[in-house]
Amino acid sequence: MSFKIIFMGTPEFAVPILQSIFESKHKILEVYTQPPNKKNRGQKIQNSPIHLLSKKLNISVRHPISLKEKKEIDHIKKLKPDIIIVVAYGQILPTNLLNLENVLFINVHASLLPRWRGAAPIQRAIMNMDQETGISIMKILPKLDTGPTLIQSKIKITHETNYKELSNKMSKIGSSLILDALTLIEKDKATYNEQNESEATYANKILKTESKIKWDENADKIIAKINALFPNPGCWFELNGTRIKILKAKKVINEGKPGTIIDDKFTIACLNGAIQILELKKEGKKSMTVGEFLRGNQIKIGQNLN
């Protein structure tokens, strides 16, 4: 038995999952994604990664601003999907859509629910220095990420793990897990487990203000934030009036006044411990190693970066 599926997703994270479903026996009726946006001061229209893949695979794409309009609900009704699969779509599905008869709504969520419900589960898990996270396949309910889970799979997080690396690994897990979920549903063996509300935590959207490094925090926490926000939006500080984005750093055993450059290797003191910058990106320049940066830029030991 093959299912008729509508896929809803937007970022790169959703790409391997859509590809996996496309290559399976199931039929993708249509793909929904977020509308194209303007890049580089409005000079170029940019489609989402899911939009680009859908065009490559010759799948029909829709990108409405909202799913609340009657015409969108009616359009989905006419398609008569068996299942609507949502992967980081970027919109909360309205109740009148979720109430469609004979349609199962499932979500591929990048955390071990009920931990890290919400918009930025991968980043929050790294920033919180969690030792593990995972993928949850769940039934969608009107309230955000509260539905019962069907399958979960765990993955370890180390002190070196960054967002890009972890997101790619989790996406691959999700691309396999979604097929397992569809098999369970097909064989009528799907068992859904209610989430424990007392264990719920929320992964709020990353704010621009979080990108600036606060040197009066512990080195471990700063490293975790650098890893969580790599490559975008990235963590930054100002040096001589120029914004410097840290791409990679490590914790070192050293002390000093928080925010102070304490050696010629570009080591900066934190509240507890220090971080040594390994890779960085100067505003308007390409990424480079700290050695490359220091060959063309002077730093002063004792200089305060606050």
pLDDT in tens, 215-232: 999 999 999 999 999 999
Q: Which helix (H) or strand (E) holds 39?
A: strand 37-39
Distance CA 214, CA 222 (A): 8
Q: What dotted CATH number matches 208-296?
A: 3.10.25.10
Q: Which helix (H) or strand (E) holds 135?
A: strand 132-139
pLDDT digits (tens, 9 = 90+) for 91-118: 999 999 999 999 999 999 999 999 999 9
pLDDT at 1: 84
Whether the per-residue pLDDT at 79 is higher than 80: the answer is yes
85 in Cβ contact with 8 (< 8 Å): yes
- CATH 3.40.50.170 range(s) for the chain read 4-203
Q: What percent of the chain has pLDDT over 70?
A: 99
Q: What dotted CATH number matches 4-203?
A: 3.40.50.170
280 in Cβ contact with 245 (< 8 Å): yes
Please compute the mean of the pLDDT values over residues 245-255 and round it to a whole number. 96
Strand intervals (E) in 183-295: 202-203, 235-239, 242-252, 267-269, 274-282, 287-289
Please compute the mean of the pLDDT values over residues 127-136 and round it to a whole number. 98
Residue-by-residue DSSP string for 1-23: ---EEEEEE-SGGGHHHHHHHHT
Q: What angle do CA 242, 205, 154 make, to 5 degrees?
A: 110
pLDDT at 214: 96
pLDDT digits (tens, 9 = 90+) for 144-173: 999 999 999 999 999 999 999 999 999 999
Q: Which residues contact 301 (CB under 8 A, 6 or more apart)?
A: 261, 262, 263, 264
127 in Cβ contact with 105 (< 8 Å): no
Q: Which residues contact 171 (CB under 8 A, 6 or more apart)?
A: 12, 13, 14, 15, 16, 17
Whether the per-residue pLDDT at 41 is higher than 80: the answer is no
pLDDT at 98: 97
Mean confidence (pLDDT) of the chain: 96
The total of other beta-carbon atoms located within 10 Å of residue 141's CB is: 16
Segment 24-27 long-range contacts (CB within 8 Å, at least 24 positions apart): 24/179, 24/182, 26/2, 26/182, 27/2, 27/3
156 in Cβ contact with 132 (< 8 Å): yes
pLDDT at 161: 97
- CATH 3.10.25.10 range(s) for the chain read 208-296
